[in-house]
């Protein structure tokens, strides 16, 4: 089954991806992120045609706790965050919990 | 709990069997955990490289689209973006690493030629082409990162469960079983001692009775003589 990439973020963030051909996108202006981002993320993550969700790392702060946890642990679709450097997206904490040491320590 | 088991030889034997099985399971799970961690280390190196590349290509893509926006205007960039017809597609296959199914993502139509993009070449400038190019590279890197990071997440989940199982066996089940075994052994020993004591007691009582009986018979033998006198 072929899937697609979806992008969520401010209009400035999504435009570039649309230029590369991404069809599924959700534009949430910065001042509405606190209210609308949770619903939008949940909606896109429930979409079976979406294989990868791309978000900006800063946008994770606008999500409520439960949705953020889903985003960080979800495998189908997998959420890739940009702009947060290595070890972003909760992966670092998960490594620390599973292995016992912080392997992403620079 | 040690008090819940009946101190019988049958229970002792079944507990010994369970201890053997649990110890074998514990060893196997420990090996699995170590194997998974080694696999994870390999992927971690790869993931860190992919992440670095991803961040670099994101910065590059952002720079190029900012430039395009500054020179061509936001409307032109958005217009070109809305004209795209071909979209990248992903197909997922799976690979098995020590029982953990990790995805292998294949992508198509990520890199496109200028004439495949859908917006008019004449109406747009090279800046927009460059930005589209940079974002196509970024998407290729995102797909790579998604693959590696999913594998990492799945491996980590498996490591966590295996670790929890190993710990449950090591610190909960096995100590309890050993405690139960010891309890039954002690109870059985105590019963044995009681049994020996009882036997000794019975022996004493029997000996006493025998002595009494002998005395009586002796008296009975002596008595008829006395009666004769």
CATH code of residue A30: 3.40.50.10580
Q: Residue B43 domain-assigned?
A: yes
* Residue bearing tokens 């050993």: B178
Assigned token pair, A93: 């904490």
Among residues A39, A35, A20, the alpha carbon closest in space to that of B60 is found at A20
Does the beta-carbon distance from A2 to B149 stay under 8 Å? no
Tell me which residues of chain B, numbers 61 to 80, contact chain A at a CB-CB cutoff of 8 Å.
Answer: 61-62, 65, 77-78, 80
B106 vs A: CB within 8 A = no
Q: Residue A104 domain-assigned?
A: no
Q: Residue B33 domain-assigned?
A: yes
Among residues A100, A69, A106, the alpha carbon closest in space to that of A87 is found at A106
Q: Residue B185 domain-assigned?
A: no
Q: Residue A32 domain-assigned?
A: yes
Does the beta-carbon distance from A98 to B156 stay under 8 Å? yes
Query: How far is residue B199 from each of residues A39, A82, B76, B190, B209, measured CA to CA in Å?
Result: 81, 83, 106, 14, 15
Does the beta-carbon distance from A21 to B117 stay under 8 Å? yes
Does the beta-carbon distance from A5 to B142 stay under 8 Å? yes
Q: Residue B96 domain-assigned?
A: yes
Q: Residue B95 domain-assigned?
A: yes
Among residues A6, A51, A97, the alpha carbon closest in space to that of B147 is found at A51
Which residues in chain A have their CB less than 8 angstroms from residue B86's CB?
Answer: 21
Q: In the prediction, which pLDDT does B200 show?
A: 96
Q: Residue B212 domain-assigned?
A: no
Q: In the prediction, which pLDDT does B71 show?
A: 87
Q: Which helix (H) or strand (E) holds B41?
A: helix B9-72
Please, which residues bridge with residue B101 across strands? B96
More confident residue, B151 or A87: B151
Does the beta-carbon distance from B156 to A95 stay under 8 Å? yes
Residue A63: count of CB within 10 angstroms of its CB = 20
Cα(A70)–Cα(A78) distance, integer angstroms? 10
Torsion of CA A60, A63, A67, A70, to 10 degrees: 0
Structural domain count of chain A: 1
Q: Residue B111 domain-assigned?
A: yes
More confident residue, B44 or A88: B44
B140 vs A: CB within 8 A = no
Cα(B12)–Cα(B9) distance, integer angstroms? 5
Domain residues for the domain of B72 are: 10-175
Does the beta-carbon distance from A19 to B80 stay under 8 Å? yes
CATH classification of the domain holding B162: 1.10.287.3240
For B33, name the nearest residue in chain A, comparing CA atoms only. Answer: A99
Cα(B137)–Cα(B148) distance, integer angstroms? 17
Residues B152, A22, A42, A13, CA torsion sign: positive
**What is residue A99's DSSP assignment?**
H
Residue B138: count of CB within 10 angstroms of its CB = 26
Q: Residue A105 domain-assigned?
A: no
Among residues B229, B209, B167, the alpha carbon closest in space to that of B29 is found at B167
Per-residue pLDDT of chain B (229 residues; tens, 9 = 90+): 556 788 899 999 999 999 999 999 999 999 999 999 999 998 888 888 888 898 899 999 999 999 988 888 888 888 888 887 778 888 888 888 888 888 888 888 777 777 777 777 766 778 888 888 888 889 999 999 888 888 888 899 899 999 999 999 999 999 999 999 999 999 999 999 999 999 999 999 999 999 999 999 988 887 765 555 5
Query: How far is residue B127 from each of residues B15, B58, B111, measured CA to CA in Å?
Result: 75, 16, 17
Closest CB from B51, B139, B149 relative to A78: B149
Nearest CA to CA, how far is A4 from chain B (Å)?
5
Q: Residue A106 domain-assigned?
A: no
Torsion of CA B10, B16, B18, B21, to 10 degrees: -140
Assigned token pair, B117: 């993009």
Cα(A10)–Cα(A30) distance, integer angstroms? 6
Residue among B47, B131, B156 with most chain A CBs within 10 A, to mutate: B156
B165 vs A: CB within 8 A = no
Cα(B7)–Cα(B179) distance, integer angstroms? 12
Q: In the prediction, which pLDDT does A60 show?
A: 86
Nearest CA to CA, how far is A96 from chain B (Å)?
10
Assigned token pair, B113: 């030629």
Per-residue confidence at A95, pLDDT binned at 50, 70, 90? confident
Residues B160, A97, B34, B163, CA torsion sign: negative
The three-class DSSP label of residue B195 is helix
Structural domain count of chain B: 1
Which residues in chain A have their CB less than 8 angstroms from residue B117's CB?
Answer: 21
Cα(A71)–Cα(A67) distance, integer angstroms? 6
Residue among A21, A51, A103 with most chain B CBs within 10 A, to mutate: A21
């Amino acid at each position: 089954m072929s899937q697609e990439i979806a992008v969520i973020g401010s209009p400035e963030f999504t435009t570039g991806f649309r230029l590369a051909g991404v069809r599924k996108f959700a534009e949430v202006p910065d001042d509405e992120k606190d209210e609308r981002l949770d619903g939008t993320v949940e909606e896109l993550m429930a979409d079976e045609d979406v294989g990868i969700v791309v978000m900006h790392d800063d946008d994770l702060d606008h999500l409520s706790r439960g949705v953020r946890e889903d985003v960080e642990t979800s495998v189908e679709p997998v959420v890739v965050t940009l702009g947060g450097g290595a070890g972003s997206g909760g992966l670092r904490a998960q490594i620390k919990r599973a292995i016992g040491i912080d392997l992403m320590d620079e | 709990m040690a008090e819940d088991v009946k101190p019988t030889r049958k229970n002792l034997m079944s507990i010994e069997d369970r201890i053997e099985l649990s110890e074998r399971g514990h060893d196997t799970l420990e090996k699995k955990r170590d194997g998974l961690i080694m696999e994870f280390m390999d992927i971690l190196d790869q993931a860190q490289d992919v992440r670095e590349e991803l961040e670099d290509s994101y910065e590059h893509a952002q720079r190029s689209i900012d430039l395009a926006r500054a020179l061509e205007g936001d409307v032109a960039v958005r217009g070109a973006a809305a004209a795209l017809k071909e979209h990248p597609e992903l197909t997922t296959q799976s690979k098995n690493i020590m029982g953990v199914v990790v995805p292998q993502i294949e992508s198509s139509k990520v890199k496109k030629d200028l004439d495949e993009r859908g917006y008019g070449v004449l109406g747009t400038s090279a800046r927009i082409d460059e930005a589209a190019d940079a974002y196509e590279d970024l998407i290729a890197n995102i797909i790579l990162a998604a693959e590696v990071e999913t594998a990492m997440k799945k491996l980590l989940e498996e490591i966590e469960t295996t670790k929890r199982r190993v710990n449950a066996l090591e610190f909960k089940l096995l100590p309890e079983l050993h405690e139960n075994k010891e309890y039954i052994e002690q109870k059985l020993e105590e019963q044995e001692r009681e049994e020996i004591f009882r036997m000794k007691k019975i022996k004493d009582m029997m000996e006493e009775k025998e002595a009494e009986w002998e005395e009586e018979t002796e008296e009975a033998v002596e008595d008829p003589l006395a009666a004769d006198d």
